[in-house]
Amino acid sequence: MKQNLLFVMPSLDAGGGERSLVNLLSHIDYDRFNVDLFLLSHKGLFLELLPKEVNVLPLPQSFQTFSLSLTSSLKRFLSHGQPHLAISRLLYALRNRSLQNIARREQASWQYLANALEQLNKKYDAAIGYLEKTSIYFCVDKVIASNKIGWVHTDYDKMGMDPEFDRKYFEQLDHIITVSEECANVLKGRFPAQEPKVQVIYNIVSPTLIKKMAAVEKNDVYSRVKDQIVILSIGRLHPDKNFGLAISACKLLLDQGYDVQWNIIGEGEEREELQKRISEEGIGAHFKLLGLKSNPYPYLQQADIYVQTSCYEGKSIAIDEAKILHKPIVITNFSTARDQITDGVDGLIAEMNPLGLSEAVAAIIEDQRLKKRLSEQLSILNLGTESEIHKLYQVIG
CATH number at residue 350: 3.40.50.2000
pLDDT of residue 190: 97
Condensed to tens digits (0 to 9), the pLDDT of residues 234-269 reads 999 989 999 999 999 999 999 999 999 999 999 989
pLDDT value of position 44:
82
**181 and 76 share one domain:** yes
Q: Are residue 154 and residue 241 in the same domain, yes or no?
A: no
Same domain, 131 and 18: yes
Residues 236 and 193 in one domain: no
Mean pLDDT of 103-114: 94
Predicted confidence band at 205 (pLDDT cuts at 50, 70, 90)? Answer: confident
Predicted structure pTM score? 0.85
Residues 154 and 184 in one domain: yes
Predicted pLDDT of residue 336:
86
Res 25: pLDDT: 95
Q: How confident is the model over 116-122, as a mean pLDDT?
A: 96
Task: Say yes or no to pLDDT of 43 above 90.
Answer: no
188 and 239 co-located in one domain: no
How confident is the model over 14-34, as pLDDT tens digits? Answer: 778 888 899 999 999 999 999
| Domain interval for residue 248 | 207-379
| Lowest-confidence segment of 6-20, 125-139, 192-206 by average pLDDT | 6-20
Three-class secondary structure assignment of the chain: CCEEEEEEECCCCCCHHHHHHHHHHCCCCCCCEEEEEEECCCCCCCHHHCCCCCEECCCCHHHHHHCCCHHHHHHHHHHCCCHHHHHHHHHHHHHHHHCCCHHHHHHHHHHHHHHHCCCCCCEECEEEECCCCHHHHHHHHHCEECCEEEEECCCHHHHCCCHHHHHHHHCCCCEEEECCHHHHHHHHHHCHHHHHHEEECCCCCCHHHHHHHHCCCCCCCCCCCCCCEEEEEECCCCHHHCHHHHHHHHHHHHHCCCCEEEEEECCCCCHHHHHHHHHHHCCCCCEEEEECCCCCHHHHHHCCEEEECCCCCCCCHHHHHHHHCCCCEEEECCCCHHHCCCECCCEEEECCCHHHHHHHHHHHHHCHHHHHHHHHHHHCCCCCCHHHHHHHHHHHC
> Are 185 and 213 members of one domain?
no
pLDDT score, position 158: 87
Residue 13 shares a structural domain with residue 127: yes
Q: Are residues 268 and 325 in the same domain?
A: yes
| pLDDT for 100 | 83
Please give the average per-residue pLDDT across 154-172, as a whole number.
Answer: 94
Mean pLDDT rounded to a whole number for the chain: 94
| C-alpha triplet 257, 237, 153: angle, nearest 5° | 115
User: Are 24 and 95 found together in one domain?
Assistant: yes
- Tens of pLDDT, residue by residue over 52-105, are 999 999 999 999 999 999 999 999 999 999 999 999 999 999 998 888 888 899
Domain count for the chain:
2
pLDDT of 172 over the 80 cut: yes
- Looking at the fold, whether 294 and 314 belong to one and the same domain comes out as yes
Which pLDDT score is estimated for 384? 84
Low-confidence winner among 109-113, 151-155, 207-211, 306-310 (lowest mean pLDDT)? 207-211
Quote the pLDDT of residue 382: 83
Task: Tell me what pLDDT residue 314 has.
Answer: 81
- Asked whether residue 246 falls in the same domain as residue 345, the answer is yes
